[in-house]
Amino acid sequence: MSEGWGIYLQVPFCPTLCPYCDFPVVLRTPGMVEAYLKRLAEEARALYAAFPIHPQSLYLGGGTPSFLKERELEALFSALPWPLAGAEVSLEANPGTLNRARLALLRDLGVNRISLGIQSFQEAVLRRLGRAHRRRGAFRAVELVQDSGLRWSLDLILGLPEQDPWADLREALAVGAPHLSVYSLQIEPGTPFALEEYQPDEIPFEAVEKLLAEGGLERYEVSNFARPGEACRHNLLYWRGGFWLGLGPKAVAQLPGHPRRRETRPPLPRWLQGKPPEVEELDEEEFLKERIMLGLRLKEGLELGALVELPELLKAIEELQEDGLLFLRGTRLQPTSRGLNFLHPVILKLWQALERAGQGPSGG
C-alpha cells in the first residue's frame, strides 16, 4: 500500500483571516517571516541528512505561500536541499498575490503547478468572506496563470453565504480549469461562521459530478475533478498510502520506513524554538482503518489483499455492494459514484467490521 514519497511544506502566513478557516495561519508581523525562514532552513538540513532521497512531489500549502515577497520565496527554495528535477512542485496561491513577474520567478524556482484559491467568482460572496480579491481579480489571476505555462488548479467552496454554487461551477468550466477541487463548506468550531451560527446549504454532489463531467472534468476523488493527466500527484500520495516529509509549523509527516508512525510539528511559536514533533504510533487496527478511509476517497479505490479473507469485513462489503455503494473486483475495493457521496456511513460500517474481526492481516 505504498506510492512513492513527497514533501509537504507549511507556509503559515496569510493576507487575511477568512471567517470559515480554522487552519493554523497568522498575519505577517515584523521579523516573523525572517525567523520562519531561518528555522525552516535548519529543519530542512536536518531532514535531508536523514532522508537524502529524490522526491516525486513538493507541495507548498498554508496559509498563502504566494503571499511571501520575492526575496523570501528565493530564500525558501534555497533552503531546500532536495533535488526537484522531475518532481511535481505545487504552490497554493491567492489571486491578489500573483502577477507576471511573480509567476516567472516561481517558474524559475522550480514551481510547475499553481493551486489557485478562488473559492468563488461572485462579488457578494467574496466580500462576505473578506477575501483580498474580487471577481475581476479572480479572472485576472486565471488569465495570468494560463499565460505562465504552468499547470494549474482551482479551489471552490460550495454552500457559502449568498452564493449561487452552480454559477461558480459553470464559471470554473468556462475558464477551462484543468483541475478543480470542490469542497462543501464545513463550519468549524470557534470560527466567525460558527459564532454567527451560519448554516450552509446542502449541495447534491451527484449533480456537481454530472455538470463537471459534461465539461470534461472527471471525478477521481471525493472532492477533486480533473482532465486526463491533471490529477494532483502529491495528494495522490496521501490517498494511496505513500510517504512524505513535513516541513514547517503544524506540518504532518508520514516518514519512509514507518507506515504507522505519524509526526506532527508544533504550532509556530514552539516550532520556532526548535521543539520536536509530536509522534503518534498507530496500532494495526487503526492503521487499517485509516488506509480504508483514505483509499476509498479515490474512485480507483484500494487494494485489500488478505483483508478480504476476514469474514466480517467481506460480509459488510457484500451488504454495501447490494446497496450500490461499493464494488469488489478481486481484492480491489472501489466506491461507486453514489458511494463517494455517502462515504462516511460506508467507512463507518467497514470500521465496525474490522473491530468485530479484531486485528486482521494487513493488506497488500
User: Could you confirm whether domain 283-364 is CATH 1.20.120?
Assistant: no
How far apart CA 280 and CA 262 sit, in angstroms, is 5
CA within 13 Å, CB half, 273: 7
**Residue-level pLDDT at 362:** 41
How far apart CA 65 and CA 20 sit, in angstroms, is 19
Pairing, β 113-119 against β 88-93: parallel
**Residue-level pLDDT at 363:** 39
109-150 per-position pLDDT tens digit: 999 999 999 999 999 999 888 777 789 999 999 999 999 999
**CATH tag, 5-238:** 3.20.20.70
Count the neighbouring beta carbons within 10 Å of the beta carbon of residue 136.
11
Report the length, in residues, of the chain.
Answer: 364
Residue 150 · residue 112 · CB < 8 Å: yes
∠ CA 335-306-243 to the nearest 5 degrees? Answer: 70
Amino acid sitting at position 298: L
Q: How far is CA 264 from the centre of its chain?
A: 16
The 3-state DSSP class for residue 192 equals helix
Instruction: Assess whether the previous peptide bond of 86 is cis (omega < 30° from 0).
Output: no
How far apart CA 336 and CA 321 sit, in angstroms, is 9
Count the neighbouring beta carbons within 10 Å of the beta carbon of residue 279.
12
Name the one residue in this structure whose C-alpha cell is 523570501.
72
Closest CA to 295 of 351, 355, 352: 351
**Residue-level pLDDT at 120:** 94
**Residue-level pLDDT at 23:** 67
* Partners of 292 in the β-ladder: none
Q: Supply the pTM of this predicted model.
A: 0.92
Tens place of pLDDT per residue across the chain (364 aa): 345 799 999 999 987 666 666 566 777 888 999 999 999 999 999 999 999 989 999 999 988 899 999 999 999 999 999 999 999 999 999 998 999 999 999 999 999 999 999 999 999 999 888 777 789 999 999 999 999 999 999 999 998 888 999 999 999 999 999 999 999 887 767 766 765 767 777 888 999 999 999 999 999 999 999 999 999 999 999 999 999 999 999 999 998 778 889 999 999 999 999 999 999 999 999 999 999 999 999 999 999 999 989 999 999 999 999 999 999 999 999 999 999 999 999 999 999 999 998 844 443 3
The 3-state DSSP class for residue 13 equals strand
**Residue-level pLDDT at 360:** 43
**Residue-level pLDDT at 218:** 98
Could you list the beta-strand ranges (E) of 146-271. 151-158, 179-184, 218-221, 224-226, 243-247, 252-254, 261-264
Write down the domain spans for the chain: 5-238, 283-364
C-alpha cell recorded at residue 21: 478557516
How far apart CA 19 and CA 22 sit, in angstroms, is 8
Closest CA to 97 of 156, 54, 148, 138: 138
Name the one residue in this structure whose C-alpha cell is 495528494.
235
